[in-house]
């Protein structure tokens, strides 16, 4: 079997890569196991030096790596370039902060001295998605490696060039053999890798079904998991919102990366007094988005990553319209080569429609009208997902109070939801569990070992 790298902008095949058989996978697991003890014993400052070098490699070859992202999954060049920069920053962040995060924590007890020591679990398998093909990996790898774990990457099958390029970064930075490896395997082999005794924990960023499947196997084997799954983030617009800022950020939050982001705003919940004013400006801004060559600075809307994803999105749009949603803009594929979908707005979205109940993973904004603030909160929380959410108001105290009422892992006031190395990131409900980034992220894959001394 092969993994095909296909340019979604025009359908051209960029390369084909053979998948690994079981003996090749076992060889990689052996290598990770042999590397783990020495890597764990290495002084954390020395691990930090290597991680900083990885950041330097990313910056030195930023144009090359961003081009691979743009070619392989269609991300706009400027967005791909920014993604590589963010990966370098998370390397710097954990190289600097990990010694403090993982320092022994002295505790009071009946002992002469007692403490918690944070020690690595061993080898962590990361099952990662295609939509942020470098960032999703580095936000896992930087803390996991600094904690002394070795890492195995099973990347999405449509981004094999990105997967191999990431391994190349760690190799060029001087990491010991086996500390970070890319496994060239498809989804059917993941369960066997999770069950292998040489793997000690699993992290997954991806779809809800994939998360359930991975969690089931890991649970069977009693292995720690962190899951960051889908989202249907509310974007709550109150009557006192600054509409210039709000509309600008609404377009960015929904249509960045062609809307293919777990933390993209997906449900625009607008209180009635400002609904028409918001929609008028929002429609104008959405009409101005231009599909085209993702490597061109003139292009403002990227293609979707795969044809099956576009087909799924369009079916959701059709079914929502059939159930009563009003198509205001787009709502259809772009004909011709590549996997393009028009920047779209659905108005009058209501319960029972896919645009209300499901995650819409593409450039479609669902507008839901609310009577008032309390109704907006009710609608925002009327979802099985709970990843992020945002509130838009000139009254920041009011915004904070409303943000506290949102049932999600990340709530932003007057800013689009984003991940930041300094802040914990993750969701609740069907958006998963556990946290990445910040202090909480590096402590997910460690043993909090109590040490008691008389």
CATH number of the domain at 2-230+428-453, please?
A: 3.40.605.10
* Structure letter (DSSP) for residue 341: B
Quick count: other Cβ atoms within 10 Å of Cβ 321?
16
Rounded to the nearest 10 degrees, how much is the dihedral formed by the CA atoms of 140, 233, 313, 245? -100
CB-based contacts of 374: which residues, under 8 Å, 6+ apart? none
Q: What pLDDT does 1 receive?
A: 86
Render pLDDT for 60-109 as a digit per residue (tens, 0 to 9): 999 999 999 999 999 999 999 999 999 999 999 999 999 999 999 999 99
**What gap in Å lies between CA 172 and CA 164, rounded to an integer?**
12
Domain locations in the chain as residue ranges: 2-230+428-453, 233-384+388-413
* Structure letter (DSSP) for residue 247: H
> Does 91 participate in catalysis according to the annotation?
no
Q: What pLDDT does 36 receive?
A: 98
Quick count: other Cβ atoms within 10 Å of Cβ 257?
21
Cα–Cα distance list, 298 to 186, 292, 294 (Å): 36, 8, 9
Q: What pLDDT does 14 receive?
A: 97
Contact 445, 120 (CB under 8 A): yes
Structure tokens at 315: 């079916």
Which residues of the chain register pLDDT less than 50? none
Provide the sign of the torsion angle of the four alpha carbons 119, 121, 125, 126, taken in this order: negative
* Structure letter (DSSP) for residue 333: B
Contact 341, 363 (CB under 8 A): yes
Q: Identify the active-site residue in 83, 97, 167, 228.
A: 228
Residue whose C-alpha is closest to residue 282's, from 196, 223, 365: 365
**What gap in Å lies between CA 90 and CA 168, rounded to an integer?**
18
Query: DSSP H helical segments within 288-406, as ranges?
Result: 307-322, 354-357, 373-381, 396-405
**What gap in Å lies between CA 73 and CA 294, rounded to an integer?**
10
Q: Which CATH architecture has domain 233-384+388-413?
A: 3-Layer(aba) Sandwich (3.40)
Contact 136, 128 (CB under 8 A): yes
Q: Identify the active-site residue in 262, 331, 408, 410.
A: 262
Q: What pLDDT does 104 receive?
A: 98
**What gap in Å lies between CA 437 and CA 89, rounded to an integer?**
12
> Is 233-384+388-413 in the same CATH topology as 2-230+428-453?
no
Residue whose C-alpha is closest to residue 281's, from 193, 392, 198: 392
Please return the burial class of 308, using the count of CB atoms within 10 Å of its CB with bins 0-12, 13-18 and 19+. exposed
Q: pTM of the entire structure?
A: 0.97
Q: What pLDDT does 205 receive?
A: 98
Query: DSSP H helical segments within 221-372, as ranges?
Result: 243-255, 272-287, 307-322, 354-357
> Does 262 participate in catalysis according to the annotation?
yes
Helix (H) or strand (E) holding 53: helix 44-60
CA atoms within 13 A on the CB side of 358: 18
Contact 180, 65 (CB under 8 A): no
**SS3 breakdown of the chain: % helix, strand, coil, rounded to 5?**
45, 20, 35
Q: What pLDDT does 207 receive?
A: 96
């Amino acid at each position: 079997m092969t993994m095909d790298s296909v340019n979604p902008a025009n359908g051209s095949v960029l390369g084909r890569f053979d998948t690994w058989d079981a003996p090749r996978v076992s060889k990689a697991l052996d290598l990770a196991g042999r590397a783990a003890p020495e890597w764990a014993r290495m002084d954390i400052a020395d691990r930090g030096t290597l991680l900083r070098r990885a950041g330097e490699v990313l910056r030195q070859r930023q144009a090359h790596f961003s081009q691979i992202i743009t070619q392989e999954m269609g991300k706009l060049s400027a967005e791909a370039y920014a993604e590589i920069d963010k990966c370098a920053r998370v390397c710097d962040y954990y190289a600097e902060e990990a010694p403090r995060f993982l320092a022994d924590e002295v505790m009071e007890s009946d002992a002469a001295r007692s403490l918690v020591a944070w020690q690595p679990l061993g080898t962590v398998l990361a099952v990662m998605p295609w939509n942020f093909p470098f960032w999703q990996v580095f936000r896992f790898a930087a803390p996991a490696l600094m904690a002394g774990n070795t890492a195995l990457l099973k990347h999405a099958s449509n981004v094999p060039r990105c997967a191999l390029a990431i391994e190349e970064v760690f190799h060029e930075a001087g990491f010991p053999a086996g500390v970070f490896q890319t496994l060239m395997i498809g989804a059917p082999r993941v369960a066997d890798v999770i069950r292998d005794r040489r793997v000690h924990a699993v992290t997954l960023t991806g779809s809800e079904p994939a998360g359930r499947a991975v969690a089931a196997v890991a649970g069977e084997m009693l292995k720690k998991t962190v899951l960051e799954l889908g989202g249907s983030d509310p974007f709550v617009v109150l009557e006192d919102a600054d509409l210039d800022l709000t509309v600008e950020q609404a377009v960015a939050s929904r249509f960045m990366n062609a809307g293919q982001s777990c933390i993209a705003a997906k449900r625009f919940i607008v209180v009635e007094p400002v609904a028409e004013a918001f929609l008028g400006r929002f429609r104008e801004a959405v009409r101005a988005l231009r599909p085209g060559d993702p490597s061109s600075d003139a292009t403002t809307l990227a293609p979707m990553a795969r044809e099956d994803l576009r087909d799924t999105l369009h079916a959701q749009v059709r079914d929502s319209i059939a159930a009563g949603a009003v198509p205001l803009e787009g709502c259809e594929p772009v004909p011709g080569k590549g996997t393009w979908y028009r920047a779209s707005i659905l108005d009058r979205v209501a319960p029972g429609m896919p645009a209300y109940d499901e995650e819409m993973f593409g450039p479609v904004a669902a507008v839901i009208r609310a009577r008032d603030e309390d109704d907006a909160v009710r609608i925002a929380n009327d979802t099985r997902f709970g990843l992020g959410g945002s509130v838009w108001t000139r009254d920041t105290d009011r915004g904070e109070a409303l943000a506290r009422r949102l049932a999600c892992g990340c709530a932003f006031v007057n800013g689009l939801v984003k991940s930041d190395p300094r802040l914990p990131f993750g969701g609740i409900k069907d958006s998963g569990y556990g946290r990445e980034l910040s202090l909480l992220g590096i402590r997910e894959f460690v043993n909090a070992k109590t040490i008691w001394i008389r």
